[in-house]
Amino acid sequence: MSEIAEKVAQRSERRISVKLPLRVRGKDARGFAFEEDTASENLCRGGAAFRTRFDVAIGSNLEIRIPQQGPLSRRNEHDFETKGRVVHVGEVLTDGERVVGVQFVGPRFQRMFRSESGL
C-alpha cells in the first residue's frame, strides 16, 4: 500500500477521544525491553494513541492490552490484546512523555462505545 493510500485508510475510521487503561510492551529505540501501564488518548477500531515515557521508533512493533472494565467485564469477556506498529511519535511534552500512535496489525478493536451505539 502506498504511503498516501495508507494515510487515507488511517483517517477513514472515526477516532474517539477516550481514556482507557493500556498495558504496552515492546522495545525502545535503543533496543531495551519495557512494559508500561498508561492510558489511551484516542482510539479507533484500527489503532490507538497513548502517552509514553519511552522513546519508541516509528515502525517498531508493540504488544498492547486493554483490560476489560465496567459492566462488560461481568459477561465473561477477555481483555483485548493485539500488536501495533508505531506510525507516529509526537514531540516530547513538558512532563517528559510523548504521544505515540499505533496501527493495529493484529486483531482490531471491536468494542462499541456509547457514542457509536446511538444511546
- How high is the pLDDT of residue 119? 43
Q: What is the DSSP string of 84-119?
A: EEEEEEPPP-TTS-EEEEEEESSSPP-PPPHHHHT-
- The pLDDT assigned to 6 comes to 53
- pLDDT per residue as tens digits for the range 16-75: 898 999 999 999 999 999 999 999 999 988 999 999 999 999 999 999 998 876 555 455
CATH code of 83's domain: 2.40.10.220
* Domain count across the chain: 1
In a domain, 62, yes or no: yes
In a domain, 119, yes or no: no
For residue 68 the three cell numbers come to 476489560
Q: Answer whether 0.85 is exceeded by the pTM.
A: no
Summarize the confidence of residues 103-114 as an average pLDDT.
72
The reply to whether 5 falls in a domain is no
pLDDT of residue 14: 81
User: Which domain range does residue 82 map to?
Assistant: 13-110
